[in-house]
A and B are shown apart, each in its own frame.
Chain A
C-alpha cells in the first residue's frame, strides 16, 4: 500500500494515453542504451547517479545501500568470485562524478518491485519512482510516535 495521492505529477500524467505511448517509444531506447552502457537491470527506479553510475541491481543481493560484508579481499564479489563487487566500483567512481558525489551516503528506500521492467525515465517524469511506502516516510522523523497517517 503506497501513498498514491502523494505522487508529485511532474511533467507527465501516468494515466494519460500520451504517457503510455511515450513509454512504449522510450522503453526500448532506455533498455538498449542502459543495458549496453551500465549492464542495467531495468528496475524502473534508477539511482545510477547516487552510485557512481554503477547499477546496484547487478549486485546479486540487490543491495541499494552499499556493499555487503562478504566482499573478497581483492575487491571481488562474495557470490561471483571472478567479478568485481559492483559497490566497490561504485564507491570508487562516485567521487569522480561532476555532481552528486555525496549521494552515495543517502539512505535509499526499498525497491518497488512493481516497477521492474518499466522505463525509469518515464517513471521519473510521472513521479512514480518517488513513491515511498507510507511507513518509510514516517520513519524520516526519528523519535516521533506520531500517527497522523493512521
Chain B
C-alpha cells in the first residue's frame, strides 16, 4: 500500500470522483466517450448511459484522430449536467496558449475537475488534412501551464487570477512507441511538468508493458503519479489490422491478431472482449497500476460486460497489486 500512502499526505487537488477514488487506493475505471457528430445533447446522454454505472469518470475526447466532432468542452458541459465525472481532453493541435488557458478557466467554471493534456494526433490522420497545425505548446508546456494556473493562481504571463481552478491534471504515455527505453523518462518529465495521473495507450503487448512498469518503479515514478493502463476490445481481425496500421501509436502483437483470425466470425465480438478481460487481469497484477482506462470505440455497449467479467463490478474495489 505504500504507493498509496505517500500520496495521500497531499491535500486534494480537486474534488473529482476520479481523484477521490485514486486517493482512497481503489482501482479506478475510466472510459473514453466518443463525441457525436450532432448538436443534440440527447445523443451524448445515449452514448454515456452504457458507461455510467461501470466507470468512475468519462474522457471527453478532443477531436481524436484529427476528426472533428462535438467539442470536448461541450461534451463535458452536457455530461456534468447529468451528474457524470468527466475528464476534459485538451489537445495542443488546434489551439494556441491563449485559447487553451481561456478554455481551462471556462471548463473549471462549468464544473470540470479533471483535465488531460495531450499533444494530439496530427491533422494528417483525420478527414481534413488540409487544416493548419497549431502546436504552439507541447503537452508538457500545457501541463505546466495548467499547474501554474492552479497552484500559483496566475496565467502563464504572470497575470493574476481572482480565483484559480481546482483541477486534477492528467497526461498520457505510450509505452509501446520508440524509443522504448526513453518512455519512462518522458513520463518523469510529465510528472515534473505537473501530471497527477496518467492514462496509457492501448496495452496489447503485456511484456513490453511489464518492462515499462518495472523501469517506472525503478525510477520511483509510480509513487508520484497514478497510472491507468489503457485497454479495449478488438472487434474483428480486420479491425485489429486497421488499428495497428492506421491508428498512430497502437501496437498489437501478431499472436493476438492470430487468435482472432482463428476464431469463427460469430464469436469475434466475444473473443475480443475475452482478450480485453484477460489483459485487464494481467495489468491489475502489475505493481504500480492504479486503474484502467477503457477505449471501446463504437463498442461502448461491450464495456459494462468487460468490467463485470474482469471482476471490477460493483465498482470501488481495491487494486490487487497493492493489497499485498
Contact = CB atoms under 8 A, between A and B. Distances in A.
Interface size class of B (residues with CB under 8 A): 35 or more
A79 B93 CA distance: 13
The DSSP consensus for interface residues of chain A is: loop
A40 B137 CA distance: 19
Nearest to B144: A139
B137 A110 contact: yes
Interface string B140-166: 110011011101111111111000000
A136 B186 contact: no
A60 B249 contact: no
Contacts of B194: 139, 142
A105 B194 CA distance: 15
Contacts of B121: 70, 78
Nearest to A61: B135
Interface residues of A, number: 46
A36 interface: no
A147 B178 contact: no
Interface in A1-20: 1-3
Contact of A105 (B147, B178, B185): B185
A26 interface: no
A73 B178 contact: yes
A78 B122 contact: yes
Interface of B: 92-93, 97, 119-122, 124-125, 133, 135-141, 144-145, 147-149, 151-160, 172-174, 177-179, 182, 185-186, 188-189, 192-194, 201, 248-249, 251
Interface of A: 1-3, 60-75, 78-79, 85, 88, 91-92, 105, 107-111, 113, 133-136, 138-139, 142-147, 149-150
Given A3-B158, A135-B157, A150-B158, 19 more contacts: A1-B158, A65-B139, A65-B141, A69-B177, A69-B201, A73-B178, A74-B178, A85-B178, A88-B178, A88-B179, A91-B179, A105-B185, A111-B136, A134-B154, A135-B145, A139-B147, A142-B151, A147-B154, A150-B154
